[in-house]
């Protein structure tokens, strides 16, 4: 709609001579006429077949439907900008016209300069309104996301908080009768619960900031192999039923990445690999690389992902229909996707239900 030559205009005018004269003036200005019709009903039918960019609508159309009624229906359904045409109308009609979404008036007889100015201003105002509406929709989406994320956080934090409260009360009430080994276990449980709360909050914060475009990367140099070895050892201590394996032929591989963002990616993928392999088994973390890219594969032998769900895999709050009683909130993979995109990387998945899943994350070796 920025280019006059591509702007199509529908004329709705029941006076044939006036309609042809207006069409001729518009063609001189470089506009394309999609059609000329003489009633509100025909205008609606024409818009259904081929929506124009702008409509010039005579207010005082003859027939059952006047121009105002047609304009109301068209704008409500198609959101097409409308300019009213009028030679004279009574006060009630003008009040009705003012109550509709209108982008301008042309008073008969028209001057070609008035036509050009009115159309230009109408299209500019429509573009501005559309942009404002898109911004409001985006803001509404972010607010809805925050509300849902807050509800999710409330639910997810309740369990670790309950555990912390329970163990601290045990230590407080029976501390002198609890063996040192048991105390150490309780403290580890508390530490683990606090860690889960911290991870949940950081995940939710990442989603919120990413939606608003407010995430800043802080890359730093580190040995990726050493980082992965520590990560795998951490997960080995969290599960006795799974064998967590790191597959790499290197002892040293230096990268420059934001470790916090990498944490979001790998912690969520490894946690999912363990969680969705309820029968235990192997979870394999493989590192491949070249001069410019890091390729990380996380593979499990778990329940897999249904084929009809894989298109929605990275959407917020989505979960497969085969998860059964396995707890989750539908945030993990959407967080992974956001984090990978922030690093200018890509993520791919291969999965077969009841056979397992493999996620492949490709990241630049040096994050900018």
pLDDT at 197: 78
Task: Identify whether the C-beta of residue 351 lies closer than 8 Å to the C-beta of residue 320.
Answer: no
Higher pLDDT, 2 or 103: 103
Task: Identify whether the C-beta of residue 354 lies closer than 8 Å to the C-beta of residue 304.
Answer: yes
**How far is Cα 267 from Cα 119, in angstroms, rounded to an integer?**
56
Write phi, then psi, for 206 (nearest 5 degrees).
Answer: -65, -45
- pLDDT beyond 50 at 301: yes
Our CA angle for 184, 186, 188, nearest 5°, is: 70
Higher pLDDT, 237 or 116: 116
What is the rounded (10 degree) CA torsion for 180, 183, 185, 188?
-120
Burial class (CB in 10 A: 0-12, 13-18, 19+), 17: exposed
Share of residues in the chain with pLDDT > 90 (%) = 48
Parallel, antiparallel or unpaired: strands 82-86 and 356-364: unpaired
Give the pLDDT confidence of 138-177 residue by residue, as tens digits. 777 766 766 666 666 666 677 778 888 888 888 888 888 8
Question: Can you tell me which residue has the tokens 């969680």?
Answer: 275
Domains parsed from the chain with CATH numbers: 4-110 (3.40.50.2300), 142-211 (1.10.287.130), 220-364 (3.30.565.10)
């Amino acid at each position: 709609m920025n280019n006059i030559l591509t702007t199509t205009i529908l004329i709705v005018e029941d006076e044939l001579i006036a309609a042809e004269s207006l069409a001729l003036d518009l063609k001189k200005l470089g506009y394309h006429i999609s059609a000329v019709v003489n009633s509100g009903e025909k205008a609606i039918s024409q818009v259904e077949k081929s929506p124009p960019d702008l409509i010039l609508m005579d207010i005082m159309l003859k027939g059952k439907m006047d121009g105002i009624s047609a304009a109301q229906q068209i704008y409500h359904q198609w959101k097409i900008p409308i300019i009213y045409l009028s030679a004279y109308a009574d006060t009630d009609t003008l009040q009705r016209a003012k109550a509709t979404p209108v982008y301008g008036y042309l008073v008969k007889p028209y001057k070609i300069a008035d036509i050009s100015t009115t159309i230009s201003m109408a299209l500019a105002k429509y573009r501005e309104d559309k942009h404002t509406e898109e911004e409001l929709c985006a803001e509404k989406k972010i607010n809805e996301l925050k509300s849902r994320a807050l509800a999710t956080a409330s639910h997810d934090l309740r369990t670790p908080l309950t555990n912390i409260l329970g163990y601290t009360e045990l230590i407080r009430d029976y501390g002198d009768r609890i063996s040192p080994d048991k105390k150490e276990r309780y403290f580890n449980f508390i530490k683990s619960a606090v860690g889960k709360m911290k991870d949940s909050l950081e995940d939710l914060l990442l989603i919120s900031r990413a939606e608003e475009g407010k995430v800043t990367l802080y890359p730093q140099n580190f040995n990726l192999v050493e980082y992965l070895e520590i990560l795998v050892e951490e997960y080995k201590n969290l599960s006795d039923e799974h064998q967590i394996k790191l597959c790499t032929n290197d002892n040293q591989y230096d990268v420059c990445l934001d470790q916090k963002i990498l944490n979001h990616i790998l912690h969520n993928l490894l946690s999912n690999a363990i969680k969705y392999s309820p029968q235990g088994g192997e979870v394999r973390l493989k590192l491949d690389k070249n001069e410019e890219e890091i390729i990380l594969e996380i593979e499990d032998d778990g329940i897999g992902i249904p084929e009809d769900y894989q298109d929605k895999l990275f959407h917020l709050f989505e979960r497969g229909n085969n998860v059964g009683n396995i707890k989750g909130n539908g945030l993990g993979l959407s967080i992974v996707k956001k984090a990978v995109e922030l690093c200018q990387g890509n993520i791919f998945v291969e999965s077969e239900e009841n056979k397992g899943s493999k996620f492949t994350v490709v990241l630049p070796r040096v994050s900018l």
